[in-house]
Amino acid sequence: MSIPEERRTNSEVPGFFKKSVHERLEIVGNQVDLSPTEKQALLKQGSLDLQTAEHMLENLIGTYPLPIGVATNFLINGRDYFVPMAVEEPSIIAAASLAAKLARPMGGFTSKCLSQPKMISQIQLVGLSDWTLALSTLEKERESLLKLANCFAPSLVGRGGGVTDIQFRIINTKRGSQLIVHLSVGVGDSMGANVVTKLAEGLSSRLEQLTGAKCRLRILSNLAVERVYRAEAVWSKKLIGSSPDQSVEDLIEGILDAWALADADPYRAATHNKGIMNGIDAVAIATGNDFRALEAGAHAYAAFNREYGSLTTYEKTPEGDLKGIIEIPLSIATAGGVTQTHPIAKISKQIMNVQSSDELACVIAAVGLAQNFAALRALASSEGILKGHMKLHAKNIAIMGGAKGNFIDVVASIMAIEGNISTARAKELVFEMCHVM
């Protein structure tokens, strides 16, 4: 796919993490054409004004800022992206950027939706002892029900969306059999929660008339199996890394063994998939998307028609390189809701320069795979994951120990050199420095 010149960025910025906040913002802002006002909004300690926030939330008492950073090096479907991530854990952005950097020489990431993205709305019918006649009646009325459902969302249909299919399922529950109606709905660039619920509510009366049953729940499903995205990448064995006491071949085998455990054991899979969501949630929050819906959908999909397992798969290529794949449902929006009301969400979308919810979801899927690869690479290394994590976490520990201002970097550096990154040591160093001063 050819990318217009005005949409091209170069996210490969050597030493990006070493630059100051203002320098990093200038690099990103100059490439994506942020205005001085937009740059200033990112630098303010709370860019969400209270007047706007009051329209977003009941019982407002203030706002809760999160640090927002930019993951670099992402090459996805032949195009570079800066990826905004709102998260408090320092290792997450560093890990994603490193994984993306290592993937670039092999072409970066390819990412796509496995179907035309749709959301599912459910209507619950109860109160009949024999559902055979009701099911037969609904099957005969399928086309008329499709037409009626779309009457409740004319603007959505006008934008090329709407209900495309209706399915009927009989479910055996502890309260007897129930008939569940599934509406498959194309929602365009919105997440779709409100519109699919509106369609379900609109159609429920007609379903009651046709079946004699009682409608109960009428709401979307967050198990978005018709909105599943697949991203993949290959990491070269020449670049994946090694150490004096571990060969690259052993590191790759270790990654494969770690993935195999996650795919077979729910105890490991829960932590494995949580690592994937570290990156996905951070981008979702930065862009104003519902990370809770993404979490629910991802973990449900990991157990969909099987025992709970890994959302990713890995294999060794014939050349000995490592190939990773993620498949995950992503109900992502670039229109509606917080994506258009929160000032930072709008700026984040501009930084990424995405033109649709489909494009944003492709980026987010790639971030999830990158996050997972980075975690497995660290876990499978002879050094382990904790040393690097704690080194990046040292500044937070320094702050917890009472360090302020320039002393934060000094305390963090000393602890890293000593290999003793702890709150107790931070307090000792702060105490010593205060007495020297």
* The most confident of 52-66, 188-202, 321-335, 422-436, by mean pLDDT: 321-335
C-alpha distances in angstroms, 25 versus 5, 36, 333? Answer: 21, 11, 25
- The label of the residue with tokens 């996905």 reads 280
- The label of the residue with tokens 């509106």 reads 198
The residue type of 234 is: V
- DSSP letter at 95 equals H
Annotation says 389 is catalytic: yes
Q: Among the options 237, 346, 389, 395, which is catalytic?
A: 389
**Contact at 8 Å (CB) between 184 and 120?**
yes
Q: How confident is the model at residue 384 (pLDDT cuts 50, 70, 90)?
A: low
Annotation says 358 is catalytic: no
Annotation says 89 is catalytic: yes
Q: Between 84 and 424, whose confidence is greater?
A: 84
Q: Between 89 and 299, whose confidence is greater?
A: 299
Annotation says 182 is catalytic: no
Partners of 105 in the beta sheet?
Answer: none
**Class (C level, CATH) for 5-113+231-384:** alpha beta
Q: Among the options 189, 226, 290, 359, which is catalytic?
A: 290
| Helix (H/G/I), strand (E/B), else coil: 246 | strand
**Contact at 8 Å (CB) between 280 and 415?**
no
Percent of the chain exceeding pLDDT 90 equals 63
Residues 89-118, mean pLDDT to the nearest whole number:
95
The residue type of 392 is: L
Task: List pLDDT tens digits, range 275-285.
Answer: 999 999 999 99
Tokens representing 123 are 């209507």
Cα 103 to Cα 203: distance, rounded to the nearest angstrom: 48
Q: Identify the pLDDT of residue 5.
A: 63
Q: Identify the pLDDT of residue 3.
A: 56
Task: List pLDDT tens digits, range 20-46.
Answer: 878 888 899 999 888 998 888 777 656
Nearest 5°: the CA angle 35, 37, 42 is: 100
Cα 153 to Cα 391: distance, rounded to the nearest angstrom: 53
Task: List pLDDT tens digits, range 238-250.
Answer: 999 877 889 999 9
Q: Among the options 12, 26, 89, 253, which is catalytic?
A: 89
Task: List pLDDT tens digits, range 131-176.
Answer: 999 999 999 999 999 999 999 989 889 888 999 999 999 999 999 9
Q: Identify the pLDDT of residue 218.
A: 96
Q: Among the options 112, 198, 274, 393, which is catalytic?
A: 274
Please give the mean pLDDT across all residues of the chain.
89
| Exposure class string for 24-58: b at 16+ Cβ within 10 A, else e | bbebbbebbebeeebbebbeeeebbeeeebeeeee
**Class (C level, CATH) for 119-221:** alpha beta
Neighbour count for residue 304 (Cβ, 10 Å): 13
